[in-house]
Amino acid sequence: MASGKLLRFDEVRGYGFIAPDSGGEDVFVHANDFGEDKHLIQPGMRLEYEVEQGERGLKAAAIRITDRPVVKPRPSRAAGDDELCDVLSGAEFSGEITELLIEKVPSLTGTQIGAIRQHLVGLARSHGWVES
């Protein structure tokens, strides 16, 4: 059994990606693979799963939720705070990139998404756009 953290999950499309604890390529996950627990899906949750080779890369099966993330409310923006922006963590930025690529270029494979994301996160870190 492999383990990892759910990075992002698109509830409308019913799929997302898991970042394996062992590193390497993210693993595709579909809502149906959660079985009766699909209503509990949240990014950040810890999972155990079997890894299978799918048509477009690695795919999770036999998923078991091991814990659920504590969701912290984001502070609301104060008036006059328009000139400042949030600095994301590398993981948050990585998740945003994954979401964008899945939505805008659905033909990309998991391997391609992982490579693009790795280079963009590296670029963002070199400019100080994300926290290390």
Say which residues have a Cβ less than 8 Å from residue 27's Cβ, sequence separation at least 6: 2, 4, 17, 18, 20, 49, 51, 58, 59, 60, 110
Residue 6: is its pLDDT beyond 90?
Answer: yes
For residues 63 and 95, state if they share a domain: no
How many domains is the chain partitioned into structurally?
Answer: 2
Tens-digit pLDDT profile for residues 9-25: 888 888 999 999 998 89
Q: What is the pLDDT of residue 82?
A: 55
Listed residue (13, 14, 12) closest to 34, CA to CA: 14
Q: Say if residue 48 is in the same domain as residue 11.
A: yes
C-alpha to C-alpha distance for 14 and 21, rounded to whole angstroms: 23
Residue 73 belongs to a domain: no
58 and 107 in a single domain? The answer is no
Question: What are the tens digits of pLDDT across the range 76-92?
Answer: 555 555 566 777 888 88
pLDDT at 54 over 80: yes
> Token digits for 132?
């290390």
Give the per-residue pLDDT at 42: 86
Is residue 58 very low, low, confident or very high in pLDDT (cuts 50, 70, 90)?
A: very high
Q: Same domain for 99 and 46?
A: no
44 domain residue, yes or no? yes
Whether the predicted pLDDT of 38 surpasses 60? yes
Q: What percent of the chain shows pLDDT beyond 70?
A: 86
**What does the alpha-carbon distance between residue 66 and residue 41 come to, in Å, rounded to a whole number?**
12
Q: Classify 129 as helix, strand or coil.
A: coil
Parent domain of 23? 2-67
> Would you say residue 76 lies in a domain?
no
Instruction: Please tell me whether residues 7 and 42 are part of one structural domain.
Output: yes
97 & 57 share domain: no
Q: What is the model's pLDDT at position 28? A: 94
Tokens for 26, please give them: 């993210």
Contacts of 132 (CB under 8 A, 6+ apart): 90, 125
Q: Is the same domain home to 57 and 102?
A: no
State how far the Cα of 65 lies from the Cα of 69, in Å rounded to an integer: 11
Q: At 95, is the pLDDT very low, low, confident or very high (cuts 50, 70, 90)?
A: confident
Task: For the chain, give the percent of residues with pLDDT over 90.
Answer: 24
74 within a domain of the structure (yes/no): no
Q: At 59, which CATH number? A: 2.40.50.140
Identify whether residues 60 and 103 lie together within a single domain. Answer: no
Does 72 fall in a domain?
Answer: no
- The distance from CA 89 to its chain's CA centroid, rounded to whole angstroms, is 13
Please compute the mean of the pLDDT values over residues 43-52 and round it to a whole number: 92
Co-location of 63 and 107 in the same domain: no
